[in-house]
Structure 1
Amino acid sequence: MSTSITSAKIKVNGVHLHYQQTGQGDHAVLLLPGMLGSSQSDFGPQLKSMNKQLFTIVAWDPRGYGHSIPPVRDFPPDFFERDARDAVDLMQALKFKKFSLLGWSDGGITALIAAAKHPALIYKLVVWGANAVVTQEDLKLYNAIRDVSKWSEKVRKPMEEMYGHEYFAKTCEAWVDGISQFADKADGNICQHLLPHIKCPTFIIHGGKDPLVPQLHAEYLHKHIKESRLFLMPEGKHNLHLRFAEEFNKVVENFLRQT
């Protein structure tokens, strides 16, 4: 039983959110996926291989993603805050009093907001491929992925299998518009104003070859989150936790285990 991965849905904030759960450790951990991501697409190696005696691992599909459809995914100005609220309320609905957050990309932004707004609930925080601001350079990178027909087949195929081509294509375009709206704010602010409010031990991981999130974002987080740690994986790209899963799991588990 201990190594099995269960899938279920639970109603949170008016939406039936899908999640996967495994392990029976005392330390609860929530995995937060990236743009258009889900527990299934984004965290296979973590659900399979993280220590199930030490950790209880939950991976969720944010509303409009994965199996948390309906509703259709949309991107109002507060979509990251909405995801953060859903994520925290999901864990509370599952009766976890305190938990750590592991957030990738958009999920990392969501995790930063959740940790800042709910310091009493968050034990530790790990983020990678995340950013607190949107620069003009970032806009160019986002617009380069707007048209999903230009994605590599390897990356595109599992998304099309999950969503169908039309939903995938439309949602990706909507995401680019959604994330781009932050560039109109002062300093391109997504959550930079919240970083000083993060009180939990924080581990920032960055891939030296990440084509989507320049390293300056990881350095910015490290500078503005008190006593945070920054770990660089020189060969890592945006999906370093999948490509280098063994090393990633090891350094993250070590961080989570430290008292």
Structure 2
Amino acid sequence: MGQAIKKRNNVQVLGSGRQTLIFAHGFGSEQSAWRHQVAEFQKRYRIVLFDHVGCGGSDFNAFSPHRYRGVHAYAEDLLELCEELKLTDVTFVGHSFSGMVGALAALVEPRRFRQLVFVKSTPRVLDDPDSGYVGGFSRAELDTFFEAMSSNYYAWASGFAPLAMGNPERPELGQEFARSLSSMRPDIALAFARLVFQYDHRGDLPRVKVPTLIIHAGEDLAVPNQVSDYMARRIPLAKMTTINARGHLPHLSAPVEVNRAIDSYLAAAA
């Protein structure tokens, strides 16, 4: 693999098998969040892990507010990674905003993707009162959110993480997410958050022609229940499955349920 892309995105290739699974983390997270999925699938599949620029072990110096002002830039990174590894016909598993990263990449080079799997993904976080779309946050709530991030990022991270995790009886999960959020540079985190919480890719959903699994995991702080239904109605080849989980990171809080949903989808397409 070219060292530039490997360093930029901290790319790791694990496991073995003819079929490749790519796991992509969401805002404030990193590739280690997929460890339960890696443990389950690496004996049967080739696994590709990476960190988005600005997160985890990526090259923070590669971050540019100009380049990474839209989701398309992260989709370009993904396609460059696929080209470098000569990947086609992969299953892409994206958490949160990474679902849209995979969707946009699949629109540009559909041959790269056999299936998409969305884990708590969303085409838009911001509510749209004019259309009746419920995304999870009002404009006023987002303004307060960004102000809190700007004024004291680390205090914001420690408070936001357990709320997003949504499993208060297991504080260690919230603490883990707080650590990964706090590992980001505050300026990158704020720019990243402004992108993630304000993009709108609802119009791209009907154009996605790759089979897509939407893992619906109950209410959470960032993605209301209605969002899964919305995507399932608009992606032509979408299937939705409901698991017993809560919070925004079910691959960490309910890994057995997430693994079972992915495994069933893979088996059905084999």
Question: What is the letter of the counterpart of residue 35 of structure 1?
Answer: F
Higher helix share: 2
Match among 175, 194, 203 for residue 177 of structure 1: 194
1:150 aligns with 2:159: yes
Answer yes or no: is the 8 Å Cα contact 1:74–1:174 preserved in 2.
Answer: no
CA distance in 2, matches of 1:247, 1:170: 35
CA distance in 1, matches of 2:125, 2:222: 12
Answer yes or no: is the 8 Å Cα contact 1:75–1:178 preserved in 2.
Answer: no
Answer yes or no: is the 8 Å Cα contact 2:27–2:193 preserved in 1.
Answer: no
Unmatched tracts of structure 1, length 5 or more: 1-7, 183-189
RMSD over aligned Cα atoms: 2.8
CA distance in 1, matches of 2:172, 2:144: 20
Match among 7, 11, 25 for residue 4 of structure 2: 11
Answer yes or no: is the 8 Å Cα contact 1:148–1:172 preserved in 2.
Answer: no
Match among 4, 17, 20 for residue 25 of structure 1: 17
Answer yes or no: is the 8 Å Cα contact 2:54–2:185 preserved in 1.
Answer: no
Matched residue of 1:124: which SS?
Answer: strand
Question: What is the letter of the counterpart of residue 92 of structure 2?
Answer: L
CA distance in 2, matches of 1:159, 1:238: 11
CA distance in 1, matches of 2:65, 2:226: 25
* Equivalence map 1:91-240=2 (5 Å): 91-136=82-127, 137-139=136-138, 140=141, 143-144=144-145, 146=149, 147-151=156-160, 152=162, 154=172, 157-158=175-176, 167-182=184-199, 190-240=200-250
Match among 242, 248, 252 for residue 242 of structure 1: 252
Give TM-score, length-normalised by structure 1: 0.81
Answer yes or no: is the 8 Å Cα contact 1:31–1:101 preserved in 2.
Answer: yes
CA pair 51-159 structure 1, distance change in 2 beyond 3 A = closer
Partner residue, 1:63? 53
CA distance in 2, matches of 1:66, 1:9: 19
CA distance in 2, matches of 1:82, 1:22: 25
Higher strand share: 1
How far the C-alpha of 1:209 sits from its partner, in A, is 2.5
How far the C-alpha of 1:159 sits from its partner, in A, is 5.8
CA distance in 1, matches of 2:144, 2:174: 16
Answer yes or no: is the 8 Å Cα contact 1:203–1:231 preserved in 2.
Answer: yes
